[in-house]
Structure 1
């Protein structure tokens, strides 16, 4: 069984089937690593670095990412419920961290106040998430469900919401210039303007 060691650097390694729920990891660097079918739920990654890594079919729900850094990381078919991404370390000299989530569950996650330009969310369930005060310019958030997620003072300039549903976005309280919505969702946006549509 593979044991992750604190303050260690891992390069081009594949970790498969790790069961590391509710464990603590400190100062580990992962570069070009792959995680397959791993369970890190309720674990604590403190001051770790993930660069050009891939997670597939992993459980990272309620994981604490305190002071950890992410760049070029892809999550596929993974569960990341209740993750507070604001606890991670996002250097101000970057705006695009090349993060991508595909067919992931991101319910109850917080992206409050973060600048994550060109963020990619594809076919994800993003219920009760917090995007307030964030900057997600040029992001792709397609085929997702955003039921009860919060968008207030959020920069959604040129964000592609094609085929996404549940987007309760007040057009007066958010920046949505150049954003794309499916026709049905665009009609819902008009409710924030007090407009009544008639046949």
Structure 2
């Protein structure tokens, strides 16, 4: 079992059901989590370094005061996670976070600086990106239905093949950002421009 105050190195955690459990001060390094249920779990002041999560349920997980560095999530459910509760040291800008084919609906990245964030084939309905700095991130093949962008730094972000975003070009920094041609027409809506065929 996983115990508070312990350190785990290069371990595999498979099919663990720790729903609603609470942990403090654990350090995970180079660990892999497969098909685990950590929904509603609390990881307080923990560290996740070079870890991988595959097909895990992490919905409503609380990462209060925890640090993540080089963490990859693949085919995970991460609904309602408030990423702003984690500890993101200000001297760092690229934490090497990667999400692939994940569901991140109702999550919050409010006010975070996460350069080079990687989101690939993710569902991001009603996710809060306001006031954040996500320069040089890759957000490709994602669904941004009702996601919020306001005073967000999206310079050089790659939105190729992503859909359903509503980004006001006057309220966000978009210099050098990439959009698929057809979907980029959504950007004109914020300017009140009507397109006629």
Relative to the length of structure 1, the TM-score reads 0.98
Q: 1: CA distance between counterparts of 2:189 and 2:25?
A: 48
Q: 2: CA distance between counterparts of 1:16 and 1:191?
A: 46
2:144 to 141, 146, 149: 146
Residue of structure 2 equivalent to 1:126: 124
Q: 1: CA distance between counterparts of 2:189 and 2:103?
A: 28
1:159 to 150, 157, 160: 157
- Give the secondary-structure state (helix, strand or coil) at the position aligned to 2:126: coil
CA offset at residue 87 of structure 1? 0.3
Structure 1 ranges of 4+ moved more than 4 A: none
CA offset at residue 193 of structure 1? 1.0
- Count of paired positions: 197
Residue of structure 2 equivalent to 1:198: 196
Residue of structure 2 equivalent to 1:179: 177
Residue of structure 2 equivalent to 1:108: 106
Residue of structure 2 equivalent to 1:24: 22
* CA-to-aligned-CA distance 1:10-55 (integer Å, 9 cap, x gap): 0000000000000001000000000000000000000000000000
- Give the secondary-structure state (helix, strand or coil) at the position aligned to 2:182: helix
CA RMSD across the alignment: 0.5
Residue of structure 1 equivalent to 2:80: 82
- Give the secondary-structure state (helix, strand or coil) at the position aligned to 1:74: strand
1:72 to 50, 70, 73: 70
CA offset at residue 158 of structure 1? 0.4
- Give the secondary-structure state (helix, strand or coil) at the position aligned to 1:183: coil
Relative to structure 2, which stretch is displaced further, 178-187 or 35-44?
Answer: 178-187
Residue of structure 2 equivalent to 1:42: 40
Q: 1: CA distance between counterparts of 2:53 and 2:132?
A: 25
Residue of structure 2 equivalent to 1:96: 94
CA offset at residue 85 of structure 1? 0.3
CA offset at residue 179 of structure 1? 0.4
CA offset at residue 196 of structure 1? 1.5
